[in-house]
Amino acid sequence: MNAANPHRGSETDTRAVGALSYPVRMERVSPLAQFLRARRALVEPEDIGLPRDGSSRRVVGLRREEVALVAGISTDYYLKLEQGREQHPSSTVLEGLVRGLALDDDAVLHLHRLARPAVARAAVPSDRVSASLIGLIGSMPSMPAHIVNSRLDILFVNRLAEELSPGFRVGNNLVKLMFHPRVPRDAYWRSTASRAVAYLRASIDPHDDGPEITMLLAQLRDMDPEFEVLWNHHETRSPAGHRSTFDHVSVGLIELRYQTFDLPGSGGQVLGMYIPVPGSPSAEKLQMLSLLAAQPAERSAEQPAEQPAEQPAEQPSEPDRVAPRKPGATPSA
**Phi, psi at residue 153, to the nearest 5°?**
-75, 135
Q: How many CB atoms lie under 10 A from the CB of residue 185?
A: 13
Q: Which SS3 state, helix, strand or coil, does residue 244 take?
A: strand
Judged against a pLDDT cut of 90, whether residue 27 lies above it is answered with no
* Percent of the chain's residues with pLDDT above 90: 53
Lowest mean pLDDT among 6-20, 72-86, 180-194, 200-214: 6-20
Give the CB-side neighbour count of residue 25, counting CA atoms within 13 A. 16
* CATH top-level class of 131-294: alpha beta
pTM of the model as a whole? 0.73
Judged against a pLDDT cut of 80, whether residue 131 lies above it is answered with yes
Q: Each residue of 48-70: pLDDT tens digit?
A: 999 887 667 778 899 999 999 99
Per-position b or e across 206-222, b if 16+ CB within 10 A of its CB: beeeeebeebbbbbbbe
- Residue boundaries of the structural domains of the chain: 10-115, 131-294
Fold exhibited by the domain 10-115: 434 Repressor (Amino-terminal Domain) (1.10.260)
The answer to whether the beta carbons of residues 66 and 45 sit under 8 Å apart is yes
Q: How many CB atoms lie under 10 A from the CB of residue 120?
A: 6
**Phi, psi at residue 15, to the nearest 5°?**
-120, 130
**Quick one: residue 267, left, alpha or beta (phi over 0 = left, psi -120 to 50 = alpha)?**
left
The residue with greater pLDDT, 194 or 301, is: 194
Judged against a pLDDT cut of 50, whether residue 240 lies above it is answered with yes
The answer to whether the beta carbons of residues 293 and 271 sit under 8 Å apart is no
Predicted local confidence at residue 28, as pLDDT: 58
Burial grade of 190 (CB within 10 A; 0-12, 13-18, 19 or more): middle
Residues, the chain, total? Answer: 333
Predicted local confidence at residue 54, as pLDDT: 65
Please state, in angstroms and as integers, the Cα–Cα distance from residue 10 to each residue in 7, 181, 242, following that order: 6, 28, 35
**Radius of gyration (Cα) for the chain, nearest Å?**
22
**Quick one: residue 329, left, alpha or beta (phi over 0 = left, psi -120 to 50 = alpha)?**
beta
Question: pLDDT band at residue 264, thresholds of 50, 70 and 90?
Answer: confident
d(CA 257, CA 275): 5
* Most confidently predicted of 1-10, 67-76, 287-296, 299-308: 67-76
Question: pLDDT band at residue 193, thresholds of 50, 70 and 90?
Answer: very high
